[in-house]
Structure 1
Amino acid sequence: MKSKSGTIFLSGLIAGTLDMLAAITVYAFILQKTTAIKILQSIASGLFKKDAYSGGSQMALYGLLLHYFIALTFAWFYFTIYPYFIFIKKNTLLSGILYGIFVWIIMNLVVLPTVFPVLPEKHLDFPLILSILILIFCIGIPIAFITKKHYSFHR
Structure 2
Amino acid sequence: MRAKYLQNRGSVLFWTTVVVGILDAVAAMTVYYVFFNLKPMQVYQYVASGIMGKTAYDGGAASAWVGVGLHIIIAFAATYIFFILSPRLKWIRENVIVAGMLYGLLIWVVMNLIIVPLSLIEPAEFNPVDLVVVIWHMTVVGLPISLLINKYYENT
Which of 132, 135, 153 does residue 133 from structure 1 map onto? 135
Cα distance in structure 2, aligned partners of 1:52 and 1:120: 17
From the superposition, tell whether residues 53 and 130 of structure 1 become closer, same or farther in structure 2 (CA, over 3 Å).
same
Give me the CA root mean square deviation.
1.6
Q: Deviations over 1:18-68 (max 9, x none)?
A: 00101111211x224311110000111111111111111111111101101
> Aligned AA for 2:42?
K
> Aligned AA for 2:116?
L
Cα distance in structure 1, aligned partners of 2:48 and 2:151: 33
Q: How much does 1:118 deviate?
A: 5.1
> Aligned AA for 2:16?
S
> Aligned AA for 2:109?
I
Q: How much does 1:16 deviate?
A: 1.0
| Structure 1 counterpart of 2:16 | 11
Secondary structure of residue in 2 paired with 1:34: coil
Cα distance in structure 2, aligned partners of 1:63 and 1:121: 22
Which of 10, 22, 27 does residue 27 from structure 2 map onto? 22
Contact 2:78–2:107, Cα closer than 8 Å, also in 1: yes
Cα distance in structure 2, aligned partners of 1:31 and 1:4: 38
Identity, in percent, stands at 28
Cα distance in structure 2, aligned partners of 1:47 and 1:65: 12
| Structure 2 counterpart of 1:152 | 154
Q: How much does 1:4 deviate?
A: 1.3
Equivalent pairs counted in the alignment come to 151
Q: Structure 2 matches for 1:89-128, cutoff 5 A?
A: 89-116=93-120, 119-122=123-126, 125=128, 127-128=129-130
